[in-house]
Structure 1
């Protein structure tokens, strides 16, 4: 519970930083826009590194895995790894196709599932109250809360590892920044909906965890993995309740994949419009249905690769760590840029201002999440069968690869070919404006 409270505090600190930056620069793109505003030199470096991180690691494989696990739990069946992978691939393929071919229906469907998610969380919370009140068959609902801090770890690695999972649950607070061009009155909407949505979500998550520990022991909760809600309902209502909640949680996971895919595809498209991706005109296109279909395909590719490549039993935890580490590096530089813009450009209109100590707390949290994953855990083993440092190293490699690509593309190749890159705006047939970097002879 302390981890969830700490995670919520970090998420709120991040929410206020993103709120100031989003109100100050109300454009789609999220961190890309804020990094570009703060780090104008070397030109295109921040954008290119962010592009590598968001394109290669912005997958939604974890949500597809949760959906698959709950579908099989609802059916009461077991399956081998490749059957589960097949279901996960079908999910991401269907969702990308839905957003590409019927984008308006996809948005309505996504919003409808969002309502279901809130209803499910509310039901779990209310059921948890009933359990704590002794109104169910759970014999001792207060057992888990006696000696609450027994067995608490002092390992920095384990705290950071757990925080990555908790913060992933709150990660949606940045999604609105990716699609601000599509939000009516973005400044007013951000100021009201951002803190309110995160606050409601945080309260529900905290109370849901209380409910889980009221019905099951910490050992049972830990062993259940991603299907903890199924365990909860089985403890309270038996097998029929377990199957019913599994269907609803699978639906919720499906909606989460839809939401993240919707946002990520638009970030991919914005990066393509800036010309930092190879073949920018292809990836930036909104043809033929006015949706970022190429951006959706670019999102599908790494999601497919991760689902196929990572051992399914380790996939969920490894993916969250793999997404979390480079995300913390990017967040660290965003908040550094936040302070730089406050100092360098104080005259910019800021409809919302974040209190500096809150930003400093967020900066320290991201610094901890960048260092702690390399501290050796007890026994030298993380929460997967893979080396405990692997996810962080892969994340660093991706960020460094972005820097190397920038060096080759912007510096080395122009020097060898004796040309310079000149940005030119081009209009696609669908009306999309794209920056294309032309080679101009002479340095």
Structure 2
């Protein structure tokens, strides 16, 4: 039975950041062989009085003071457990009536499914060998239905309920608003097709980060990672959680009165913590929550659509008369309107972030994208038709919760169900982003571009628990502002920059590696179209909203010294190394997490 030593300080792997190796962690068997070789070369003198016949402990570690951490946690001190294939004998230690400090026994964590801290077993009784051994790693547990639920649940969130007002504001007319929603849906399909080829060609979790790292190396990948960690992930999750809180609390306040900021932020933080807990327990739990909330959000949108269509067929078409009147033809306003619709479509690349956990991605990815985007685009267009059928331009622009106003005008006494279902919708989207964002953090740490402890996996649940907790922490920082439109502008500009950089890798691989295996190959015109439109969406809003652009560029600039000092330099400050060793050590103890293993 293989054991993991948690003695202090932990063994941290120092990666050469110029290498582009995907697999930063050696397999379990490789670590055992390495430990054997090191023991034969320079065995340590470790007092182990009850087991004098033991040839050598596995692996040799320091002890005594290091045993205090396990005593504080109340763990049972065990003898070293050795693999029967590589050891001659393994003898248990009887700790009854003996001083543990004199014996200097090192506490180890077993990686079997039935032997965890607090549940120690006699190693001589474990004769099942490899049959009971479980490699600590992410599992392929996400099938086609789950993929569809993940994409639909991740896309349909707060965007469809907060963006219609902003899109109408920037376009100036009902007709042009509808055009922008349709074009944005087509743009999302083109982007999904491009990432479909990249995702099946490079089947790694992490999405855009993984592709940029493979194409351009660690520095451009770190710039994207830095933008995601400082702007993208926390802003998008803050938007979703604040929208959830706003809709959940809205029924408790008079019409037209927005909830106070304190309870709004409290509910938003509570949602993030709850979803983080669910995702740390089991991937299947998170997927079940995602599927359930996806059904609920589709249900509430179907109710809105059917209600709107009823009013439409009964003759309420006046709001579509002169649909393009008062259209604002300013290209900077157009680009800003696209910002808000594309935010509503954000999430079509969800599968690329968790590719290592998708079953048969070459088969399931195209089907999932086709089904889910067809559903989403149809629902979005019909939902906007329903909104414009019931609400005029003045009502749309004056409402902070369009769906609530819609329900109050059409559903009467049962209008209170609308904000509840809308809250479920935004919660489902936030759950999906929790799943994908944590995998980006996990993969980045595995490659050495974030602290190594963020790539640790829970020994029993096989979830990236440290990455999930880190994702929740950085998300709550954004609650310093509650202006959703400002957050959308920040995230949209940085997101477009990252999207352009990612799509450029498409051309890089086509030119530099034309013979690279591509299970799915798309028409070259798709990435060209995406790139041209992406430039338009990046440049024109910069003219109208320079402060958001300057803030994003400052964030990009700060990534360069951080990369040089914390990653590229070989002679890192001793204090930083000592501090990260401590964090890694206590992260393993506190969260029962270890580095991911590879099967041999």
Superposition TM-score, scaled by structure 1 size: 0.85
Contact between 1:89 and 1:304, CA under 8 Å: does it hold in 2? yes
- Out of 381, 389, 395, the residue aligned to residue 546 of structure 2 is 389
Residues 203-237 of structure 1: CA deviation (Å, up to 9, x unaligned): 11011000000001122112223x21112122212
1:205-216 to structure 2, matched below 5 A, reads 205-216=380-391
Q: Secondary structure at the match of 1:151?
A: coil
Contact between 1:103 and 1:291, CA under 8 Å: does it hold in 2? yes
Q: Indicate whether 1:81 and 2:261 are aligned.
A: yes
In structure 2, the CA distance between the partners of 1:131 and 1:270, relative to structure 1 (3 Å rule), is: same
1:151-166 to structure 2, matched below 5 A, reads 151-166=326-341
1:240-255 to structure 2, matched below 5 A, reads 240-255=413-428
- Out of 201, 220, 225, the residue aligned to residue 395 of structure 2 is 220
Segments of 4+ in structure 1 off by > 4 A? 413-417
Q: Indicate whether 1:274 and 2:447 are aligned.
A: yes
- Out of 401, 411, 430, the residue aligned to residue 594 of structure 2 is 430
Matched with 2:502 is: 334
Residues 258-287 of structure 1: CA deviation (Å, up to 9, x unaligned): 11111111111111111101x31x211122
* C-alpha distance in 2 between matches for 1:183 and 1:294: 21
Q: Secondary structure at the match of 1:430?
A: strand
Q: Displacement of 1:433 after TM fit?
A: 4.8
Matched with 2:406 is: 232
Matched with 2:437 is: 264
Residues 342-378 of structure 1: CA deviation (Å, up to 9, x unaligned): 11111012222222222111101111121112223xx
Q: Displacement of 1:74 after TM fit?
A: 2.7
Superposition TM-score, scaled by structure 2 size: 0.63
Q: Indicate whether 1:69 and 2:246 are aligned.
A: yes
Matched with 1:304 is: 476
Higher relative contact order (CA 8 A, sep 6+): 1
Contact between 1:285 and 1:430, CA under 8 Å: does it hold in 2? yes
Matched with 1:441 is: none
Contact between 1:15 and 1:173, CA under 8 Å: does it hold in 2? yes
* C-alpha distance in 2 between matches for 1:73 and 1:52: 35
Q: Secondary structure at the match of 1:306?
A: helix
Q: Displacement of 1:179 after TM fit?
A: 0.5
Contact between 1:21 and 1:34, CA under 8 Å: does it hold in 2? yes
Select the structure of larger CA radius of gyration. Answer: 2
Contact between 2:250 and 2:259, CA under 8 Å: does it hold in 1? no
Residues 301-353 of structure 1: CA deviation (Å, up to 9, x unaligned): 2211111x11x2x2x11112211111111111111111121111110122222
- Out of 562, 566, 574, the residue aligned to residue 405 of structure 1 is 562
Q: Displacement of 1:415 after TM fit?
A: 8.4
Matched with 1:440 is: none
* C-alpha distance in 2 between matches for 1:32 and 1:433: 21
* C-alpha distance in 2 between matches for 1:391 and 1:261: 25
* C-alpha distance in 2 between matches for 1:400 and 1:187: 37
* C-alpha distance in 2 between matches for 1:213 and 1:342: 44
* C-alpha distance in 2 between matches for 1:291 and 1:410: 25
In structure 2, the CA distance between the partners of 1:67 and 1:410, relative to structure 1 (3 Å rule), is: closer
Q: Indicate whether 1:106 and 2:286 are aligned.
A: yes
Q: Indicate whether 1:364 and 2:532 are aligned.
A: yes
* C-alpha distance in 1 between matches for 2:262 and 2:491: 23
Q: Displacement of 1:93 after TM fit?
A: 1.4
Q: Displacement of 1:241 after TM fit?
A: 3.4
